[in-house]
Amino acid sequence: MHTPTTQHRTTCCYCGVGCGILVNQDANGRLTVEGDPQHPSNRGLLCSKGMNLHYTVMDSSDRLLYPQMRLNRSMPMQRVGWDAALERTAAVFRTLIQKYGPDAVAFYVSGQCLTEEYYLVSKLIKGFIGSNNIDTNSRLCMSSAVVGYKLTLGEDAVPVCYDDIESADLFVVAGANPAWCHPILWRRIEAHKAANPHVRIVCIDPRRTDTARSADLHLPIRPGTDIVLNNAIGRVLIEQGWVDHDFITSHTDGFAAYATQVMQRTVADAADLCGIEPAQIEQVARWIGQSTGFLSLWTMGLNQSVVGVNKNLSLISLHLITGRIGTPGNGPFSLTGQPNAMGGREVGGLANSLPAHREVTNAAHRAEMEAFWQSPVKIAPKPGLTATELFDALHDGRVKAVWIINTNPLVSMPDVNRAEEALRKARFVVVQDVSNRADTVPLADVVLPAAAWLEKEGTMTNAERRVTYLPKVIDAPGEALPDVEIIWRFAQKMGFGSQFNYATAADVYDEYARSTAGTNVDVTGISHALLRDRRSIQWPYSAAARAVTESVDDADTGAVGTPRLFTDRQFYTPNRRAQLQAVLDENTSEPTDPDFPLVLTTGRVRDQWHTMTKTGRVAKLMQHVPQPFLHIHPADAQVRGIREGQLVQVRSRRGEVRVNAQLSDDLRPGLCFLPMHWGKQPGNSTLNRANNLTSSLVDPRSKEPDFKFAAVEVVPYRKP
């Protein structure tokens, strides 16, 4: 035991639950962490990943310590100073922009970036370079939910908060496994259910996950049939009169078309397509009808789909026809996978957006931001390239240079072999990251070492719109710099110094906050100083609201901000009414056929995070699942002669993976499962990568890839 000498309040940098963490630093600089009992999101609890977070910064053996560059890829990397690295990068960017136009360059960023970093990259490329080519790995996990919210509620605005959990009596968890992927949120749901036996949980998932095991009802639907199920539930709700006609009449548009659509298919037909019983559909509808608090929670199972937006719309509709939104315990809750996916959305970190949920396609929004930034160029009116489009454009040479910040696309992109080819073909690649565990580092022309969690300050927004502050606690090793400083130094090298003349991350946040004045994302009442005092604040929180709060509120209560949206039933659409959307129940994923008869779904294991660049450094976390595996149903294994533990080859139309098989009846026959975390293994083989197999088909509106549905075949591996 060592005695803590200083304690710092910060936030976990893994999932979107956004747990508060106390970091204890002893006299020797050693760190330990514990859950912050005062933080409203986790009330002192941490999951296995959060409890071991300090190990990610205590060992610098694989850290990037100083800038490096090379003049061509046949040369080894050379250590250089910051000025040399950024001047060369600026020179290459300027040359490419002059010769090919601003869309020849691009940034690919991450939901793990802090809000200030996201904002500054967005400002640089959109307002100063003149291209909208910035996209984020959040495109791969929640962009379908963004579009779903916009089309129904008028804006990308999560209407609920974690405190709704204790007011809900029905949880419908769809395409999510919070027991593993949002563990502290799940513990809160479990505690609520334990104290209130009438509370029910429905889990909709083709796999029997730990979440499904805890549910009162598990619906193991066939992959891709989510809309069929949701529409059938909608049909029963309407037929049984379990809808709120007053709410529908007063606060929504589109009910007639919605009702017509859901009546197209009988419940029996829907159940048959989903592979479940009609009584199970009726049961869910009855529970919704009887509930006083209906909370739906979802993540990748709905979002990562070629029809991801329609899946979202079909679920959100169940809230709109029953009026279960804007009141305690009710609402559609898209859980974010990454710690700051929400913050990135707020500041314009997507290829189609500008700060405060403005849109690049909206001339008035562009004009507002051009004036605010004093942009030397016009903001481009066309959305930039989204994640998969960007790698396609690198592949065919339309984009010449890409700057990748804190994300590891050579593990996480769909059809990742093609993404790797694209990076190899790119004329110029900048990798800004914390460690050399990022698989992109060997392909870079310039490598920029970034400060990690605890080594820089800034803010993040969690899944319930809660903005929290992360202080700098320790110095970064070597010459690593905070990402926000790397960007403003680069902007100065590009000649934009006067508008990138910041001294601290707080300066950047204050500028972003000013840009939100009068919008639905108004955070003019929030500052770093206030967050240090109040721990966290849910947006919107305007300067006017802050003035009122401070005149009546005890500064110690922390009761500021906006926990729940639409309490007045006034939505963010032009006519203030929610828009019901009738959606076809088709799935347009790639078809299975005799060569590729099985459906592969990819996902996560409990103790790993994304591409393991952080969790892979923690020995304790590697113990849970030390190796990648393929889950395959015993019946499918038997016909293929596959035994438990046997090395198998998984093939799709795009590539192959070799892993050991685990026979499991936790998934439906015809379905198999691979975790997505693993990248290069010793010997530089990439045969661990689940995304060797996945398809680059995307939802046409959200541009989110179809990670949950790839046609594959599995055979015992035999050496050629």
Which CB sits closer to ligand SF4, 88 or 614?
Answer: 614
Instruction: Enter the tokens of residue 157.
Output: 């605005």
Which CB sits closer to ligand SF4, 46 or 202?
Answer: 46
Least CB distance from residue 118 to ligand SF4, whole Å?
Answer: 19
Q: List the end-to-end C-alpha distance of the chain, in Å, as a whole number.
A: 55
Which CB sits closer to ligand SF4, 344 or 525?
Answer: 344
Given a contact cutoff of 8 angstroms between Cβ atoms, the answer to whether 632 and 642 are in contact is yes
Contact between 114 and ligand SF4 per CB under 6 A: no
Sign (positive or negative) of CA dihedral 99, 100, 101, 105: negative
Give the whole-angstrom CA distance, residue 590 versus residue 405: 31
Which CB sits closer to ligand SF4, 47 or 281?
Answer: 47
Helices marked H in 47-200? 48-51, 55-58, 82-100, 115-122, 143-153, 178-181, 183-195
Least CB distance from residue 475 to ligand SF4, whole Å?
Answer: 24
Binding mask 49-68 for ligand SF4 (x = CB under 6 A): xx------------------
Least CB distance from residue 407 to ligand SF4, whole Å?
Answer: 17
Binding mask 65-94 for ligand SF4 (x = CB under 6 A): ------------------------------
- Position with the least CB separation from ligand SF4: 50
Given a contact cutoff of 8 angstroms between Cβ atoms, the answer to whether 234 and 258 are in contact is yes
Binding footprint of ligand SF4, residue count (CB under 6 A)? 14
Which CB sits closer to ligand SF4, 52 or 694?
Answer: 52
Contact between 184 and ligand SF4 per CB under 6 A: yes
Least CB distance from residue 43 to ligand SF4, whole Å?
Answer: 11
Which residues lie closer than 8 Å to 656 by C-beta, 6 or more apart? 649, 650, 687, 692, 693
Q: Is the peptide bond before 540 cis (omega within 30 degrees of 0)?
A: yes
Which CB sits closer to ligand SF4, 189 or 672?
Answer: 189
Least CB distance from residue 380 to ligand SF4, whole Å?
Answer: 36
Give the whole-angstrom CA distance, residue 157 versus residue 148: 10
Which CB sits closer to ligand SF4, 179 or 273?
Answer: 179
Contact between 463 and ligand SF4 per CB under 6 A: no
* Selected range binding ligand SF4 among 143-151, 178-186, 378-386, 559-567, rule: CB under 6 A: 178-186
Which CB sits closer to ligand SF4, 173 or 399?
Answer: 173
Considering only CA atoms, which of 514, 698, 677 is closest in space to residue 602? Answer: 677
Which residues lie closer than 8 Å to 716 by C-beta, 6 or more apart? 640, 641, 642, 646, 647, 648, 649
Least CB distance from residue 433 to ligand SF4, whole Å?
Answer: 20
Least CB distance from residue 187 to ligand SF4, whole Å?
Answer: 9
* Selected range binding ligand SF4 among 16-24, 91-99, 225-233, 407-415, rule: CB under 6 A: 16-24
Give the whole-angstrom CA distance, residue 146 versus residue 141: 10
* Selected range binding ligand SF4 among 10-18, 162-170, 230-238, 568-576, rule: CB under 6 A: 10-18
Which CB sits closer to ligand SF4, 336 or 602?
Answer: 336
Contact between 18 and ligand SF4 per CB under 6 A: yes
Least CB distance from residue 206 to ligand SF4, whole Å?
Answer: 24
Given a contact cutoff of 8 angstroms between Cβ atoms, the answer to whether 104 and 96 are in contact is yes
Which CB sits closer to ligand SF4, 166 or 216?
Answer: 166
Contact between 616 and ligand SF4 per CB under 6 A: no
Give the whole-angstrom CA distance, residue 16 versus residue 460: 9
Least CB distance from residue 476 to ligand SF4, whole Å?
Answer: 21
Contact between 19 and ligand SF4 per CB under 6 A: yes
Q: Which of 10, 17, 270, 334 binds ligand SF4 (CB under 6 A)?
A: 17
Q: Which of 9, 10, 14, 451 binds ligand SF4 (CB under 6 A)?
A: 14
Least CB distance from residue 356 to ligand SF4, whole Å?
Answer: 25
Which CB sits closer to ligand SF4, 24 or 646?
Answer: 24
* Selected range binding ligand SF4 among 12-20, 114-122, 566-574, 588-596, rule: CB under 6 A: 12-20
Rg (CA), the chain: 25
* Selected range binding ligand SF4 among 162-170, 179-187, 266-274, 443-451, rule: CB under 6 A: 179-187
Give the whole-angstrom CA distance, residue 622 versus residue 604: 13
Contact between 162 and ligand SF4 per CB under 6 A: no
Kindly provide the b/e burial profile for residues 264-285, where b requires at least 16 CB atoms within 10 angstroms of the residue's own CB.
ebebeebbebbbbebebbbbbb
Instruction: Enter the tokens of residue 453.
Output: 């969690």
* Selected range binding ligand SF4 among 13-21, 137-145, 351-359, 667-675, rule: CB under 6 A: 13-21
Apex 330 CA angle, 152 and 290, nearest 5: 115
Binding mask 547-566 for ligand SF4 (x = CB under 6 A): --------------------
Contact between 705 and ligand SF4 per CB under 6 A: no
For ligand SF4, the binding residues in 625-654 under the rule CB under 6 A are: none
For ligand SF4, the binding residues in 28-47 under the rule CB under 6 A are: 42, 46-47
- Angstrom CA distances, 545 to 300, 384, 465, 523, stand at 35, 35, 16, 10
Instruction: Enter the tokens of residue 224.
Output: 């891709």
Considering only CA atoms, which of 62, 67, 89 is closest in space to residue 78? Answer: 67
Q: Which of 67, 183, 234, 308 binds ligand SF4 (CB under 6 A)?
A: 183
DSSP per position, 123-167: IIIIIII----EEEGGGGTTHHHHHHHHHHHSSS-----GGGGGG
Tell me phi and psi for residue 206, to 5 degrees: -65, -20
Give the whole-angstrom CA distance, residue 46 versus residue 12: 9
Q: Which of 12, 202, 399, 674 binds ligand SF4 (CB under 6 A)?
A: 12
* Selected range binding ligand SF4 among 140-148, 177-185, 232-240, 358-366, rule: CB under 6 A: 177-185
Which CB sits closer to ligand SF4, 131 or 615?
Answer: 615
Give the whole-angstrom CA distance, residue 690 versus residue 601: 9
* Selected range binding ligand SF4 among 15-23, 222-230, 352-360, 687-695, rule: CB under 6 A: 15-23
Which CB sits closer to ligand SF4, 12 or 401?
Answer: 12
Which CB sits closer to ligand SF4, 154 or 339?
Answer: 339
Q: Is 81 exposed, middle or buried (0-12, 13-18, 19+ CB in 10 A)?
A: exposed
For ligand SF4, the binding residues in 223-252 under the rule CB under 6 A are: none
Which CB sits closer to ligand SF4, 601 or 608?
Answer: 608
Contact between 15 and ligand SF4 per CB under 6 A: yes
Which residues lie closer than 8 Å to 30 by C-beta, 6 or more apart? 2, 58
Other CB atoms within 10 A of residue 713 CB: 19
Strands 401-405 and 578-579: unpaired
Which residues lie closer than 8 Å to 22 by C-beta, 6 or more apart? 7, 8, 9, 33, 34, 35, 36
Torsion of CA 674, 676, 678, 684, to 10 degrees: 90
The binding site for ligand SF4 (CB under 6 A) comprises: 12, 14-15, 17-19, 42, 46-47, 49-50, 182-184
